[in-house]
Amino acid sequence: MSALFRITGETQICIPTLETERLTLRAPEARDFDAYAAFRASPRSVTVGGPFPRAVAHEQFNAVIGHWHMRGFGRWIIENRDTQTAIGLAGLYHPEDWPEPEVAWSLFDGAEGQGFATEAARAARAYAYDILGWDQVMSLIMPNNTRSVAVARRLGAILEGPYSHPKLGTLDLWRHLPVERILA
């Protein structure tokens, strides 16, 4: 026991784990950081405002975890259930300068073209509607990010129009409707 302080409680962050047919969406862990930092440093990260130095990627990785604490939702590490390796990040995101909550996804090198982003984003969106009770969510995508545009289309999202972001420039806002509104 310290004479300078006493511990009177603790705060825990609750990050649920989701499983899909091929993926586990789980809390970020220290073992995931190298793959995350490599993606954030690569030319591919230009679609999310990069590339970023490793130290900035470390701050961003910590912010992914902190977002859960501040908002009660956030982004998960996408883990391939067969290989048990981190292959990307997907989930719900709402930073201070975003117009509303977003369903977002990013895949690390080598994970593209296998439907993982669509599968992970579909689960994250279902979590937003079914568990959190949201009635709308969007995705902000750079117009030249053809892979993410294709994912948004596969998810049934509708291009709503341009959104001017102060740092990232003009992004396309894609609207995701709940399944019952799509079927109506």
The letter for the amino acid at 4 is: L
Rounded to whole angstroms, how far apart are CA atoms 96 and 124? Answer: 20
Residue 155 lies in a domain: no
What region does 156 belong to: left with phi over 0, alpha with psi -120 to 50, or beta?
left
> For residue 179, what pLDDT is reported?
65
Averaged pLDDT, 31-43: 97
- Beta-strand (E) ranges in the chain? 18-19, 23-26, 75-80, 85-93, 102-107, 137-141, 158-165, 169-176
Q: What's the pLDDT tens digit per position in 112-127?
A: 999 999 999 999 999 9
CATH number, domain with residue 77: 3.40.630.30
Measured between its terminal Cα atoms, the distance across the chain in Å is 62
Q: What's the pLDDT tens digit per position in 153-184?
A: 999 999 999 999 988 899 999 999 876 555 44
Reduced to 3 states (helix: H, G, I; strand: E, B; else coil), residue 161 is strand
Residue 94 lies in a domain: yes
Expressed as residue numbers, the domain containing 70 is 18-134
Average pLDDT, whole number, for the chain? 94
Give the helix/strand (H/E) hosting 40: helix 33-41
Averaged pLDDT, 33-53: 93
> For residue 183, what pLDDT is reported?
47
The letter for the amino acid at 163 is: Y
Give the position of tokens 């799509």. Answer: 182
Reduced to 3 states (helix: H, G, I; strand: E, B; else coil), residue 52 is coil
169, β-bridge pairs:
165
Residue 93 lies in a domain: yes
Q: How many domains does the structure of the chain reveal?
A: 1
